[in-house]
Chains A and B, each alone.
Chain A
Amino acid sequence: MYIIIAGGGIIGSHIASLLVQEGHEVTVLEQSETALKNLQGQLDIKTIRGNSATPKTLKEAEIERADLVLAVTNNDETNMITCFMAKEMGAVTTAARIRNVDYSGYFVAPSKTPNSPRKIVRPKSLGIDVFINPELEAATEIMEILSGFYSTPVENFANGLVQIREFKIESESLVGKKLTSLTLPQPSMIVAVIHQGEIIEPEKDFVLSEGDSLHIAVPAYNMDELGKIFIQKKRTAKRVVIFGGSRVGVLTASELQKRGVKVKIIEQDPIRCDELAAQLENVDILQGDGTDRTFLTEQGVSSADAFVATSENEEINILSALLAKTLDVPRVMVVVNKPGYIPLAEAIGIDVAAVPTILAANKIIRFVLRGGVISASLIEAQKLEAIEFVTGAQAVIANKKVTESGFPKETKVVAIVHNETIFIPPEDKIIKPGDHVVIVTPPESVQTIEKLFK
């Protein structure tokens, strides 16, 4: 596919690198020369300098043969105009990163006469096929984590029948144990082992150490049983402190507050505090420094159930989260934008609640590249992808055994769902047309695998 990405910031470059790995042809449009230089130094892609919302730049990028345009600059309006222009000029599919929730979605157009039918303006009429709101997704993800007892979100496959979740090795009873000696509820499959920040192929006598994590696939009904092995049950949060009145912070706060959770927001900027106070009801807005220990203690952070650092500055997020951890807050989470910070945060024992960059990439691969019908998600930033395929009647691999269907050797067939019967791992099952197949693979092989299912 030929893909044009407008905006070469953190999100743009992250998605670009993923798409390049998958073997797509990518061109990035970006206005800032420094950002361009960075991109050129890191990725083998074509870059064009210019404002992506102008026809001139789009023409130069050969918009007429673009299969997909992703507008992910940090300006909502630019993204919308870019998509609109791109669609008019012949792009097949467009997706825009829209951070302002007021823009997203549908609205009823007013009419001159009170009783005549109202036209509903859809994003499609603006030329945008998919809205990407990483901040909103981040907030949703945080909500999901806070309302359950896991520290990581779950990925659903085959209509939720199969789930994959990352488990960190935290409890002392697991450290030093052999991987092979773990008794997992059956059926289940370990799809990836992460050791010191790298995905490894564990050898027979691999011993778990603190900080390792396992991505495990199980049928949904077995997830809680599996969770018991790895996690001490934490109670659902009733009092939450949010540091940083960013978009993510506000969205999370208002959602939490709706569910009857007591929320405090710490924000340094007094002007922003006024805005927040006007916007949010029944939420305590505290103006102060989130990295000031005395301030945090004074504001009763130590008696909170959870501390979520969501400010725009990720370095300060990590610092304040660390501080909250020393104040014995049971659950401490941060939001970071640069995927490179994930191992850093995890190394000092802070859970990364959400990475808007990766969430955006996730949404793009799920809804845009794969048509939204099937699930797909990224494991460990982007080194692996978990994808669900539906076997077509004419597929190359239909009616063949898994072991004989010619999958690239670095891919793992995790599950086959045949008429709601789950096979994890499928071993030498025969793949029938109509079966849902969950596969974990490096992005490089995705195109090869896609061909197998067509």
Chain B
Amino acid sequence: MVEKEEIEFSKILVPVAGTTADEGAIELACKLSRSKKDLCEIYAIHVIPVERSLPLDAEDSTKMDAAENILSNIESIGQKQGCPIETEMMQARDIGPTIIEEAKKRAVDLILMGISYKQHFGLFCLGDVIPYVLENAPCRVLIDHQLQSKL
């Protein structure tokens, strides 16, 4: 029999997209963090996708403002929950690889993502970010799917 290892996290990466699912994911991360003796490091990143037609260095101030709002909202949730959250803003062509790269760079041991209920042509759909992360993640991945009624 395999020895059951203690599941414990010290660094959590929470990609946020600005949807209602973010709050739940962050709250869950904070809960995990507080269940430990000393708090986890929680990183929240928001990736602004850049269209292929634009150069990668293009600056779009409206998108940045929106991103700032998302991140400051995340920070204030963290403050309420008593966990400091480090936030970062990135821009990239693809969101999935960016998340994986960031997770590797920061050597996190958990990626926690919130998803909201989506239907694509009448079928349940995860989008393309989550499958990519699940496929390539260097660590554990938690997907937080909230109650249907809550959404």
Contact = CB atoms under 8 A, between A and B. Distances in A.
Interface of A: 105-108, 110, 114-120, 122, 124
A115 B56 contact: yes
A118 B64 contact: no
A117 B57 contact: no
B57 A119 contact: no
Given A116-B101, A118-B57, A120-B48, A105 B90 contact: no
A119 B64 contact: no
Nearest to A120: B89
Contact of B61 (A106, A115, A118): A106
A120 B48 CA distance: 9
B41 interface: no
Nearest to B64: A106
Interface in B34-69: 47-48, 56-59, 61, 64, 67-68
A122 B44 CA distance: 14
Nearest to A125: B88
Given A105-B61, A117-B101, A120-B48, 8 more contacts: A106-B61, A106-B89, A108-B57, A115-B93, A118-B91, A120-B64, A120-B67, A120-B91
A112 to B, nearest CB: 13
B86 to A, nearest CB: 10
A140 to B, nearest CB: 15
Contacts of B101: 116-117
B87 A117 contact: no
Nearest to B75: A124
Given A105-B64, A106-B64, A122-B68, A117 B59 contact: no
Nearest to A108: B57
A106 B91 CA distance: 12
A118 B64 CA distance: 13
B17 interface: no
A45 to B, nearest CB: 29
A116 B59 CA distance: 16
A118 B68 contact: no
A124 B90 contact: no
B32 interface: no
Interface in B79-99: 87-93, 97-98
